[in-house]
Amino acid sequence: MKAVIVVDMINDFVSGKFGSERAQAIVPAVTDFIARARKKKLPVVYLQDAHSAEDTELGIWGVHAMSGSRGSEIVEELAPARGDIVIPKQTYSGFVGTGLAVLLRDLGVDTLIFVGVSTDICVQNNVGSAFFSGFRSIVLSDCTASITHEGHEQALKYMKAVYGAGITTSAEVVL
């Protein structure tokens, strides 16, 4: 069974501190894809960067996506629906310290479809964690974005080569 993993489609990463035109541009495609997935009754899991003052990541990126802040909230256009799962995370990967792998296995999931930002940071790290946890991954190139086009393309190539991720588009993926 497949599940959709929505990575960090939060205010700080779409239109806030680390937002970009590229992140904003994928919102309609992600919205449409999630609606299709819900119609097929696939689990939709939101990974939400939500930091505390002690998180080591802040030493690299500065203060961002603080738990409870507007910056950490999922963008309004992609608001979770009833039945969707929201998992706050304190690291690049939603598999670290959250119980995500167990939850997915309990749901009978073996394949994850990734959408969100940033392709070359959090998406790539989540695909790596999924690989190490025994899941297959599909990354939708038109529903993921990085601040730079080069970063996006390099990450897609890396995930395909290193983790065996399927790289496709939202129109081509089979739900």
In a domain, residue 174? The reply is: no
135 is a domain residue:
yes
Kindly state whether residue 121 falls inside one of the protein's structural domains. Answer: yes
Token duo for residue 97: 């310290």
Q: What is the pLDDT of residue 60?
A: 94
CATH number, domain of 106, equals 3.40.50.850
Cβ-based neighbours of 143, under 8 Å, separated by 6 or more: 26, 29, 30, 33, 115, 116, 169, 170
In the prediction, which pLDDT does 153 show?
A: 98
For residue 173, tell me if it sits in a domain: no
Residue 108 placed within a domain? yes
128-146 pLDDT per residue, tens:
999 999 999 999 999 999 9
Decide if 11 is inside a domain: yes
User: Would residue 6 count as lying in a domain?
Assistant: yes
Residue 47 in domain: yes
pTM above 0.85, yes or no: yes
Mean pLDDT, range 91-120, rounded to an integer? 98
Average pLDDT of span 138-161: 97
Residue-wise pLDDT for 34-82, tens only, equals 999 999 999 999 999 999 999 999 999 999 999 999 999 999 999 999 9
Domain count, the chain: 1
Run of H or E residues at 100: helix 100-106
What range does the domain containing 51 cover?
Answer: 2-168
